[in-house]
Structure 1
């Protein structure tokens, strides 16, 4: 039996990189002291700024980003694997001044093991009147990413990606036994859909779903849902924070549960070609 002690970090990320690191560092240290070998932070760990001009004033490349580089050093110091759920960084695409919303997986030597740019950008008009156009400031990624870890393959997704089951199915079919869903969910959609979507993706893939979240009312006025959650391959919630306060959520993953779920319902092997409706 292979098991893995993990921790999800729930944050209320400030608007400046220096404050963001000061906020998340003690939580990561707490997670490592509690025995976690894989630690995951939420979407937008390096800063959370809605105003485009203010954001662009601190935006830099991942190699130069203060929070990313300090977190690499922290992973090395603590001897843990660390997923920066996402950092908002320059995309590196000439002619496109939009940022990338990028997950960065760091190994226990502080090296970058994998990166993933959010595929699906959040362009919505909610019944509450909230309007979001993430595509105006975030360049969507071009491909799915699966990363090797000492405990098995980790599929990378970010927030709004949770609504696209085909992505998660592709990750599972490529061998993912864990799928990360770092998020900054809005309150209306979080209250209505967060846990249901996470459980559905776990059931459909027979994989662990690991969802660290932003939480509470932020400096720029944004409100996020929190409720960081770990869902097992059979769809049961095995750990969650039932609030929107910063904190650490511990869980232990038993990878025999992946095999049990997939053997019981081998849906990943049952695809059939079909004719689309006209």
Structure 2
């Protein structure tokens, strides 16, 4: 089975209306390129200070996701909605970092709430405390559409290989990593981690990213990528908003796993994770 897969790289900011218009433009571009599956980056509806979450947050379904559903129906594309700021209706002032998967009929097939929160003090002076506003998820999510099994993750999850191994053992073939990696961490870690997750699990990795500056004077690394199960980079974005696309051969997963059956060679009775 082959799938024409696209990843959209964005420079989202703290203006949800402008961000949505940009996303709709790139979704149309991806459709014109013949994409059958399209993925968006983390926080595509709003990227800015945590103080803006109250105004920018939405429910699911809500206006932003409904627009993605419309595009999926119009172009008969599978759409992975990166992640948005989802309002926690039961707890005012709290939010989830939530990813959504939509089928060609425009139906929401799966939702994933980011498990690992980005609470760090970086050497360049950047401080990120996602847990101040974000409530972590507590469920692994895989979902099947048309015989393809997707494993859903978001950004900082990438640093926890046990999550990806768990998704692979649940049958995931495409590992989704929508992200907004910082410039400071991304230039040294982004590609290395993505290729490692692909190689460790012999899965495709699709990683649409944010790029460029956003308020308050911070910068995302970009370099969105699509990586095959052997760890080869099939497509990579440059340092600007854009669409990258490649054709995925899902049978490649079985061929690679037959060469190096490391998943079968695991000895889980020896180690605990």
SS of alignment partner, residue 41 of structure 2:
coil
Q: CA deviation at 1:96?
A: 6.3
Query: Which residue number corresponds to residue 59 of structure 1?
Result: 57
- Preserved contact between residue 89 and residue 100 of structure 1 (Cα < 8 Å): yes
Q: Select which of 220, 226, 231 maps to 1:224.
A: 220
Name the CA distance, whole Å, in 1 between partners of 2:266 and 2:158.
21
Aligned to 1:79: 76
Alignment counterpart, residue 111 of structure 1, candidates 104, 107, 118: 107
Partners of 1:237 and 1:73 in 2: CA distance:
31
- CA deviation profile, 1:148-169 (whole Å, cap 9, x unmatched): 0114100000000110000000
Tell me by how many angstroms 1:49 deviates: 2.2
SS at match of 1:19: helix
Note the C-alpha offset of 1:86: 0.4
Query: Matched residue pairs, number?
Result: 271
Corresponding residue of 1:205? 201
- Aligned residues of 2:150 and 2:175 also touching (Cα < 8 A): yes
Q: SS where residue 81 of structure 2 aligns?
A: strand
SS in 1 for 2:110: strand
Cα drift, residue 137 of structure 1: 1.1
C-alpha contact 1:104 1:115 (8 A) present in aligned 2: yes
Query: What is the deviation of 1:219?
Result: 4.4
Name the stretch that deviates more: 80-89 or 143-152: 143-152
The structure 1 segments of at least 4 consecutive aligned residues displaced by more than 4 Å after TM superposition are: none
Q: Does 1:98 align with 2:94?
A: yes
Aligned partners of 1:87, 1:231: CA distance in 2, in Å? 24
**C-alpha distance after superposition, 1:12-43 (max 9, x if no partner):** 11312211111111111110111110000000
Please give the alpha-carbon distance, in whole angstroms, between the structure 2 residues aligned to 1:60 and 1:67.
Answer: 8
* Secondary structure of 1:5 counterpart: strand
1:257 corresponds to? 252
**Structure 1 residue 58: Cα displacement:** 2.7
Post-superposition CA distance 1:224-243 (Å, at most 9, x none): 011000111011111111x2
**Contact 2:50 / 2:133 at 8 angstroms: preserved in 1?**
no
- Return the TM-score normalized by structure 1: 0.94
User: How far off its partner does 1:124 sit?
Assistant: 1.1
Post-superposition CA distance 1:178-233 (Å, at most 9, x none): 10000000001100100000000000000000000001112442210110001110
Q: Secondary structure at the match of 2:83?
A: strand
**Equivalent pair of 2:177/2:206 in contact (CA under 8 Å):** yes
> Do 1:18 and 1:67's aligned partners in 2 also have CA atoms closer than 8 Å?
no
Task: Tell me if the contact between 2:56 and 2:85 (Cα under 8 Å) persists in the aligned partners.
Answer: no
Q: Which moved more, 1:132-141 or 1:261-270?
A: 261-270
Structure 2 distance, partners of 1:83, 1:60, is 17
Deviation by residue 1:76-127 (Cα, 9 ceiling, x = unmatched) = 11111100010111134x3463211001011111110100000101011111
Secondary structure of residue in 2 paired with 1:244? coil
Q: Which runs of 5+ in 2 are unaligned?
A: none
> C-alpha separation between the residues in 2 aligned to 1:206 and 1:63?
33
| Inter-partner Cα distance in structure 2 for 1:212 and 1:134 | 20
Name the SS for the 1:60 alignment partner: coil
Give the TM-score, by structure 2 length.
0.95
